[in-house]
Structure 1
Amino acid sequence: MKKSKKKVVLIVLGIVLALIIIVGVIVYAVLHGLYKSSNYVEDENVKQQYQEKLEQGSEAPQETIDPEEAQGQKIDESEVKEIEKKRKEFSENEPITTDGKVYNVLLIGVDRRDDTWAGNSDTMILLSINEKKKQISMVSLMRDTYADIPGIGLRKLNAAHANGAGPLLTETVTENFKVQVDRYITVDFNNMIDIINMVGPITINMSDSEVRVANDYMREMCTLRKENLDDHLIEKGGNVVCDGMRAVAYARIRYVGNADYQRTERQRLVLSKLMEELKDMSLTDLYDLADDLLPMVTHNVPEDEILGLLLKSPDLFKYKIVQDRIPYDGMFNVIYVNGQDMLVPDWDDTVKRLKETLY
């Protein structure tokens, strides 16, 4: 009788184990198929592609402004060399910080009209997940920040993406800000409209001035996307229910309020609103969303990492969110050089504060 019961128990355990294996195989197959639909690119392939362009002398063009429009202090060559010297001394003495419990991903929004070049990165948000502190940090890196781009030299930070796409921008941020950026995710404004439509709508409080400029942006975007402008136009300021077109137009506003400084706040606000929407989604809903969303983004996140983040997402959405931008207030100077206004951070204080936030 005892042997019979033991045999039954073993059979039941065998069946349960078999079911677990079968379910595991099915789950893996489903998630693997999800990942395969994404636009994953090898860093080395991208680097080789752009290295060939640089060797042929095809560095991406730089935006310039007239001296009369410049906001920065006009400096001569000797002053430029002094800035470079200070930055180099700091870079040589400051180690790159890395931590296995902190995962840094660079979110990149690209402004481009076609696929003939990588495009300038008008949105750069360092998204940092700290499992020890249960904190998600969103730090905007301003496009006009003066940075040393490997293989290119001292340029605006957004020129890194124009000359080497995600891998070069990731390397540039790591080397200049001395924090290990693990991965990047890139999306252009056109696809961002579709992504917000999938997740949203979201509600944003806009001023009358912001509405006016957002409507101007939407005229351009509706023409490019061949959509009816009347379906998206905003009548007046206040709490505005935003589809993708409205939200992206709002995030692009640069000349209302405190210029590009305030634009980074708008971009983080849109991202925060999207994260709020995601909080209420089940794993099944998140999977369905990822299935539609992943083909629209370009990234270098390996399969095990992206699936791990998907499975952790219900917990991650409970983390405290911290927001900031670089350059920090009171920690930078504005200079005018080579026909461009550039923001020169106080590297010592800037990197110290960034590391304290992330780690």
Structure 2
Amino acid sequence: MKKGENDKKKGLPVWALVILCVAAALLVTIAAGYGYIQSKLGKINRTQDQTALSPEEEYFETGETLEESLDTISQEDVEWDSDAYTFSREDVTNILLIGQDSSDEEERTRSDSMIIVSVNKKKGKVALTSLMRDMYVQIPGYSDNRLNAAYAFGGMELLDETIEKNFAIDIDGNIEVNFDGFEAVIDAVGGVDIELNSAEVSHLNKKHSTWHLKVGMNHLDGEKALEYARIRKVGDGDFERTDRQRRVLTAVFDEMKNISITRLIALADELFPLLTTDMDNGEIIRLGINVLSMDLDTLETYRIPCDDAYDEVRVFARDGTAMDVLIPDLDLNRSYFYQNIYINP
């Protein structure tokens, strides 16, 4: 017998069989885990093709007056800073959270709240930046209008384009929740702890006679947290309102940190059907991995327009509608976002 014939008839060594079996088991486990995650993420609603409003159908809303007496300006006389380079880096992901003032999935109204969640993987931080809905901005393809009109006219896509044109911020994805969903999210995590001042307590208890809230720390369920987040006629109007929204999101984050993995998985079945996104499952998984890899204790919070970077005025639209709005200084607000999200530690 020639040398090597016996070797050819031998099977694989035991160690090689063990490695193959372990590898096969790992592949099966990974595939099963991947399939499980995909099934969970499949519960999230996906955006459908939405017909944009034609420019001829655009409209303007008076809204609420910011002050009794404001300087007035016509729409044609508003001057804008030139377009700027859009901020974009691979280690920073910007997700826009959109709160819609509607329970009807078929109806697209103006976005009631807009908060950019910025995940900076390199610096290991997550920041929330509120965009005030009464900012007067340039809307691509339409007349200048309030920021929240962009969503009503063209959905997530137009809102993202509007944010990029005015503030040079690249939005990587969008997540929308209506107010019914907001309440459910709060209830699902067991409520949130919020500190209320005397004016907030007086407003909420007067509106709801059966509530007995007190000055100081209160544990709010979904209904109470929503009412708190929507307060506008207490304090400094919409400025404090956006601050309350960030406080509620931060409180939800604090509650989520203390929930077990088992409970978080169960919450997915409750919460995911309440959300709508334009992100695919791969993008959501990558975002989740980035956030879970961070040792987060707190969330940073910001607001656009920032202090001393806007004018409160009354703008008369081309149809004569008077709109009390905030005209942002685009260059100052672009710099503010860039410094806090991309530069500062």
Alignment of 1:307-346 (within 5 A): 307-316=285-294, 318=296, 321-338=299-316, 339-346=322-329
Name the counterpart of 1:25: 31
SS of 1:268's partner is helix
Contact 1:103 1:129 in 2 (8 A): yes
Residue identity matched to 1:297 = L
Q: 2:121 aligns with which of 131, 156, 176?
A: 131
- For structure 2, list consecutive stretches of 5 or more residues without a partner in the other structure: 1-8, 317-321
Matched, 1:202 2:192: yes
Q: 1:216, 1:150 → 2: CA distance?
A: 42
SS of 1:149's partner is coil
- For structure 1, list consecutive stretches of 5 or more residues without a partner in the other structure: 220-228
Contact 1:146 1:342 in 2 (8 A): yes
Residue identity matched to 1:90 = S
Deviation per CA, 1:283-321: give whole Å up to 9, x if none: 443332223211111111111011223334433461652
Residue identity matched to 1:72 = L
Name the counterpart of 1:54: 54
Alignment of 1:94-133 (within 5 A): 94-115=84-105, 117-133=107-123
Alignment of 1:236-275 (within 5 A): 236-275=214-253
SS of 1:133's partner is coil
Change (3 A) 1:315 1:59: same
Name the counterpart of 2:339: 356
Name the counterpart of 2:82: 90
Question: Looking at CA atoms only, which structure, 1 or 2, has the larger radius of gyration?
Answer: 2
Name the counterpart of 1:148: 138
Q: 2:128, 2:181 → 1: CA distance?
A: 21
Name the counterpart of 2:5: none
Change (3 A) 1:169 1:214: farther
Change (3 A) 1:118 1:238: same
Change (3 A) 1:71 1:133: farther
Q: 1:18, 1:96 → 2: CA distance?
A: 45
Count of paired positions: 330
Q: 2:172, 2:69 → 1: CA distance?
A: 34
Alignment of 1:203-242 (within 5 A): 203-215=193-205, 230=210, 233-242=211-220
Q: 2:136, 2:34 → 1: CA distance?
A: 44
SS of 1:251's partner is helix
Deviation per CA, 1:255-310: give whole Å up to 9, x if none: 11111101111000000011111123344433322232111111111110112233
Task: Choose between structure 1 and 2: higher helix proportion.
Answer: 1
Name the counterpart of 1:292: 270
Change (3 A) 1:235 1:127: closer
Change (3 A) 1:308 1:215: farther
Deviation per CA, 1:129-165: give whole Å up to 9, x if none: 1111111111111011111111222001111111122
Residue identity matched to 1:73 = D
Tell me the CA shift for residue 235 of structure 1. 3.7
* Percentage of matched positions with identical amino acids: 32
Return the TM-score normalized by structure 1: 0.84
Name the counterpart of 2:62: 63
